[in-house]
Chain A
């Protein structure tokens, strides 16, 4: 059934910018403040208040445009999008319509099997967010909604793709890539749960081979990658069933319900879709010249693809390691810092991908909260290099750094973990072990070389892991041979 039809998906992503203040006033954008405590005459829409554009929001829009290969408009304007809702105090949202700041971009996504596909980006425009409505849940409040305008006026980018995706998997690949880029750029904190990265999906189906698009439904405000996949899958099935039964797909807005996994029509919203955009007379045109674009190009951080390539080239690690280490900007920064301090690309990769990531997963925390900072990890690795501790003891030191937040040298000194390289001390231990195990000594001398491992284990155990393994090997061989 699915193969008879082709799915067509276009995505609109709202990215909340990490500016300290709102897009048209100086109110803070901090999340989680008491309701309406971050408001002023501009974002409350009090009469006579005038908006003034936040220059940093423009910087961020340019950065996002450059990173997605868009053309930055030399001149763009703001428009009013008119509709009524209690969390939109002005009765219109300031957005961009005819002349958005960025157009004609693209992102290349990786598909399963290693192929890449180019997804077009139609436009990126700047706009303000609305406030938040909450709906009464008790008998006394069920007739009311409650409005918090702290979020009203928070700067957003709306990034609109071409209808270029043909499966939920491609849609997810595009979203993850876009998410990674805006977080790398530092223009968005990427927090899906708090709504910093929200997605609307336009979904339609058409018989394979047909050129004209089918009628599309818009699924609103889905806030996790998993839900987006579920919502699209459900919507495709629903539309195919309609077409198969000779019914028509209606162009409408639908809401995804994560609890049931279905999309529901938001009836009654259709006639409100006449937004009567017109240029906002309160805001002057925005002119971005070449100098401004050049300044932003200079500030552009290294993006994931470039970083992955550099890690492979300069640090000599495999593609796979580079992929894992660059998935998140903070993790890549952490690894980069470790290598810059210590120098060993592969050994740092092993520790970060091993002990560090395991510890983070166990505690369910992010790399930003990792108690072992790069200088601590690098410091410990130096103590392996200079023979102070063995690789085995290093695991103990690492765990202790994680637990206590203290550096390797302090822990090694305090716990007496310094490796024993003094041959006299090691020889004494070996003599004891050999004397205690005459049977095994006989076996070894009779040619059963496997017993050698037994002796190494015994010596290491007796030294509590502190004996230098190379020294133990050498001395053991001599003693066993010499008799």
Chain B
């Protein structure tokens, strides 16, 4: 096995996914199959290859430190389920 039920459970917790027990089992099987497939890469000798951080050979896409207009409060809060005094209102996050 490439991944254990416990590891899948932990990843689900970190991703804030509440998954029923049988689905955790199904996912463990599927993720195991995916990881086994990726293992195929081990057949290649990559000793001399520098790890790639990006798919295209581009570097230094930079912008100047110049201000652009913000989108405005109405648009910023348009998708908020509730907003109060210009703030997003969310369930309390500390005790």
A175 at the interface (CB under 8 A from B): no
What bracket does the count of chain A residues touching chain B fall in?
Answer: 35 or more
Q: Is the CB of A53 within 8 A of B63?
A: yes
Q: Is the CB of A146 within 8 A of B87?
A: yes
Partner of B67, one of A26, A85, A279: A26
Q: Nearest residue in B to A19 (C-beta to C-beta)?
A: B65
Q: Interface digits, A27-71 against B, CB 8 Å rule (1 contact, 0 not)?
A: 110000011111111001010000011111110000000000000
Distance between Cα atoms of A37 and B76 in the complex (Å): 8
CB contacts (< 8 Å) of B16 on chain A: these are 84
B38 at the interface (CB under 8 A from A): no
CB contacts (< 8 Å) of A142 on chain B: these are 92
Distance between Cα atoms of A274 and B16 in the complex (Å): 13
Partner of A146, one of B10, B14, B89: B89
Contact A144:B91 (CB < 8 A) given known A37-B73, A274-B14? yes
Q: Is the CB of B92 within 8 A of A26?
A: no
Partner of B73, one of A34, A136, A271: A34
Q: Is the CB of A136 within 8 A of B92?
A: yes
Distance between Cα atoms of A84 and B17 in the complex (Å): 12
Question: Count the B residues whose beta carbon is within 8 Å of the partner chain — how many?
Answer: 37
Partner of A35, one of B67, B87, B94: B87
Distance between Cα atoms of A369 and B53 in the complex (Å): 48
Q: Is the CB of B61 within 8 A of A53?
A: yes
Q: Interface digits, B13-34 against A, CB 8 Å rule (1 contact, 0 not)?
A: 1101000000000000000000
Distance between Cα atoms of A279 and B65 in the complex (Å): 24
Q: Interface digits, B70-93 against A, CB 8 Å rule (1 contact, 0 not)?
A: 111100110100001111111111
Q: Nearest residue in A to B56 (C-beta to C-beta)?
A: A284
A72 at the interface (CB under 8 A from B): no
Q: Interface digits, B48-76 against A, CB 8 Å rule (1 contact, 0 not)?
A: 00000111101111111111101111001
Contact A86:B93 (CB < 8 A) given known A36-B87, A285-B59? yes
A281 at the interface (CB under 8 A from B): yes
Distance between Cα atoms of A285 and B51 in the complex (Å): 12
Question: What would be 19 A-B contacts, judged by CB atoms less than 8 Å apart?
Answer: A27-B70, A36-B88, A37-B72, A40-B70, A44-B76, A52-B61, A52-B62, A54-B62, A56-B65, A135-B94, A136-B92, A148-B87, A283-B54, A283-B61, A284-B56, A284-B61, A285-B53, A285-B54, A285-B60
